[in-house]
Amino acid sequence: MYAAERQQAILTAARADGRVEVSALADALQVTPETVRRDLTALERLGALRRVHGGALPVERLELEPTLAARREHLADEKSRIAARALAELPVEGTVLLDAGSTTQALAERFPQDRELTVVTNSIAIAATLLGHPGVELYLLGGRIRPRTGAAVGTWASSALAEVAVDVAFLGTNGFSVSRGMTTPDQAEAVAKRAMVSSARRSVVLADSSKAEVVHFHRFATVAEIALLVTDRGLDEETSGRLEAAGTDVVRV
């Protein structure tokens, strides 16, 4: 198979499956992983793919932000383990902030019954989950609601966050990268997330390993601004080590 034919096969697979992995492509195409990596680099230079940790994504996927429902189904087991581990980061009492997102939603669904916590969130779904929860004093941020994520964004949310100080903020992200930090496709969501980081004494990102080395248009935090990343074991030790060297502790579950 010529390089052009191989690269066309890779691009077709990426568009059909939403993602391609180096090891799987090497087996399917009967070439070395190094050959696949060179093909992915060539396709990225053409603007057809975006290289990510262990493989690549079609650019079409990067342009389309998935709905909250779709994200909850993606890597559900990994998100469940991440949320369970994140419980250890909750204070016994105090104030926490929960960003809108599928993994933060999973954390809200596991909230303990024996804590006295003030919870601030910009998520309609999380607010509904915690409404009436014993021990939780609930604050819902106002603003424009994005239908795709159910998140309140805009000046109302950012202004409210500027006037509070929370102990721990739990945030989601569409991508994380050693070089580019935490990123998201939507500008309004990025502004809200940036305000959350600024309002918190400690920021914790909950993100599965499929987000590793994915870079979106808007950055809301550098690696050094995030105290802890809780992810799954799909993130390799090398990338984990580089994140820690840049200033973020990493827990893989």
Q: Give the separation between CA 130 and CA 139, rounded to whole angstroms.
A: 10
Looking at 12, 29, 63, the residue that finishes a domain is 63
Domain shared by 114 and 229, yes or no = yes
DSSP reduced 3-state for 201: strand
Domain shared by 223 and 194, yes or no = yes
Domain shared by 237 and 223, yes or no = yes
Domain shared by 116 and 49, yes or no = no
Does the pLDDT of residue 64 top 60, yes or no? no
220-238: pLDDT as tens digits:
999 999 999 999 999 999 9
Does the pLDDT of residue 252 top 80, yes or no? yes
Burial category of 164 from C-beta neighbours within 10 Å (exposed 0-12, middle 13-18, buried 19 and up): middle
Domain shared by 25 and 72, yes or no = no
- Residue-level length of the chain: 253
Which of 11-20, 26-35, 134-143, 189-198 is predicted least confidently? Answer: 11-20
pTM above 0.75, yes or no: yes
Task: Provide the residue range defining the domain that includes 173.
Answer: 68-252
CA distances for 70 relative to 66, 90, 165, 230, angstroms: 6, 27, 32, 21
Domain shared by 85 and 210, yes or no = yes
DSSP string, 45-94: HTTSEEEETTEEEEHHHHHSPPPHHHHHHTTHHHHHHHHHHHGGGS-SEE
Percent of the chain predicted with pLDDT > 90: 78
Domain shared by 54 and 175, yes or no = no
First vs last Cα of the chain: how many Å apart?
Answer: 40
- On average, the pLDDT of the chain sits at 92
Work out how many domains the chain is built from and give that number: 2
pLDDT at 135: 93
Looking at 63, 84, 107, the residue that finishes a domain is 63
Report the CATH number that the domain containing residue 85 is assigned in CATH: 3.40.50.1360
pLDDT at 214: 85
pLDDT at 126: 98
